[in-house]
Amino acid sequence: MDSSQSKGSDIARMIWIVGAPVIFAVGTFGNIMTMIVLSRKRNKPSSTSVFLSAKALFDIVVMVIMLPRWWIIYLTGIDIRHINNFVCKFQFFVNYFSGSIGSFLLAAVTIERAICTAKPYLVKNICTVNIAVIISIALALTACVIHGHMFFGMKLYEVTYKETSETISFPLDSNEKSTNTCEFILDQYFDTKIDPAGEFRFKDYASALNSTTEECIDDLFVKIETNEKLTATKTIKVCWYDDPGYGQYFSGMHQILLAIIFTTILTIFFVGGLIIIKGLQKSRKLRKSMTNTNRQTSGNKPAFDDQARQITVSILFVNALFVLMGIPALIYLNGISAWIDEDTGMTEIQEIMWAVVNMLAYAKHAINFILYFLSGQRFRSQVKETFGCFKNPSAERSKSMPVNRLVSVASSYDLSLKKKPLTE
């Protein structure tokens, strides 16, 4: 949606001016912290950490490149898309690319977590760091291919149109007008403005006029042609497509492709979520049934350790909120042609709605860190360690343990494995 469709609602302006910096601060800080925590040396690299780190990186791109645009528009009246033609194309591309790659990576990590629950013995062979890196790169390239046409189809150009500074009015008082005069008819039914094409819209008014309609219309044109204020022109910049052929593709096949992708991702979220939930329930039952003794003597182990379980729960929350917070903006964008006038732009209510659904859409890229922190005890501990306000007790014991004590502990185990291992 181009900035020229904005009317300047005070409420919408406040939502953008206040809400955007808050989301920017929370999202930028949270995603940077996510990358730091997941890349710590004491964390063993995993396919999950690769996908989540990649998503955090692209979420930072959203915070830095996408979010500030409307904030700047409402704060200064300047649209960064109107800086030059490249910025127009690039910003438009990143808008669609960032939304796609985020959902792609969440779908990938959902599949990975589902495999960990359903087929845990395949994790070491399939869910590796190298494979995760390759998949992440492939998904990014796929998103580039899907939306790369915007570099060729979108452009920055100028539009000049006639602008009306005031509505048609007549000096006669309504009590002095006869219902059979043109002045009365025009005052009642032709209170209108010139549209961008320079033509007049009578809509359904003509059907309400009497037999003097034709004479009244002629009189209206005479009055307007002699009024210089009603024939002023205005030039604005627009970042959009001007090729009708590309417009048909962008509004047709491209939107259908996005709908198919969105449906596929929703299916992955739903089916993968069911598999994960079932696996979590099975793991919980298994942990309850196992005692300390049979954990050492039996060959069966829980399907998840605590860290994997916490990460899996976090992914479920992220997926659910990613969909719920993104759907309002999707519905709004798909319904633009139905309820927003292309000539006059958004009404004040529609502009407020646009601000609200955008805040939700951007917030879904900013809250991942909060969800990881709330749903994962291990993640919280590592965040605290990163800030130096919490130290791992086991690590401290290892540091403070004398060397001779470490040797004594090590000698208590049969390091030569001559005895039968306890896990067999």
**pLDDT tens-digit readout, 162-190:** 655 444 443 434 444 444 455 555 555 44
Q: 269 and 228 share a domain?
A: no
Q: How confident is the model at residue 143, as a pLDDT?
A: 97
Of 223, 240, 257, the residue at which a domain comes to its end is 240
Please say if the pLDDT value at position 395 is more than 50. Answer: no
Q: 204 and 247 share a domain?
A: no
DSSP secondary-structure letter at 401?
Answer: S
Q: In the predicted model, what is the mean pLDDT of residues 280-306?
A: 60
CB atoms closer than 10 angstroms to residue 232 = 11
Domain, as residue range, for 165: 159-240
Q: 236 and 320 share a domain?
A: no
Structure tokens at 8: 């300047």
Q: Is residue 415 part of a domain?
A: no
Q: In the predicted model, what is the mean pLDDT of residues 298-302?
A: 48
Q: Is residue 395 part of a domain?
A: no
> 199-239, pLDDT tens digit by residue?
444 434 444 444 445 555 555 555 555 554 445 567 888 99
**Three-class SS state of 343:** coil
Q: How confident is the model at residue 264, as a pLDDT?
A: 96
CA separation for the pair 277, 269 (Å, rounded): 12
Q: 347 and 315 share a domain?
A: yes
Angle of CA points 306, 312, 313, to nearest 5°:
90
Answer for the pair 17, 280: CB distance below 8 angstroms, yes or no: no
CA separation for the pair 215, 62 (Å, rounded): 58
Q: What is the dihedral of CA 222, 228, 230, 231, to 10 degrees?
A: 100
Q: In the predicted model, what is the mean pLDDT of residues 22-45?
A: 90
DSSP secondary-structure letter at 396?
Answer: H
Number of domains forming the structure of the chain: 2
Of 240, 266, 301, the residue at which a domain comes to its end is 240
Q: 101 and 211 share a domain?
A: no
Q: 170 and 90 share a domain?
A: no
Q: Is residue 78 part of a domain?
A: yes
Q: Is residue 120 part of a domain?
A: yes
Please say if the pLDDT value at position 83 is more than 90. Answer: yes
Query: What mean pLDDT, rounded, does the chain reach?
Result: 76
Q: 95 and 191 share a domain?
A: no
Q: 143 and 291 share a domain?
A: yes
Q: Is residue 96 part of a domain?
A: yes
Of 210, 240, 270, the residue at which a domain comes to its end is 240
Q: C-alpha distances in angstroms, 285 versus 111, 126, 282, 303?
A: 23, 26, 5, 10
Reported confidence tier of residue 104, pLDDT bands at 50, 70, 90:
very high
Q: 224 and 276 share a domain?
A: no
Q: 259 and 177 share a domain?
A: no
pTM of the model: 0.73
Q: 336 and 379 share a domain?
A: yes
Residue 13 sits in a domain whose CATH number is 1.20.1070.10
Q: 10 and 117 share a domain?
A: yes
> 232-270, pLDDT tens digit by residue?
567 888 999 989 899 999 988 998 999 999 999 999 999
CB atoms closer than 10 angstroms to residue 98 = 21
Please say if the pLDDT value at position 155 is more than 80. Answer: yes
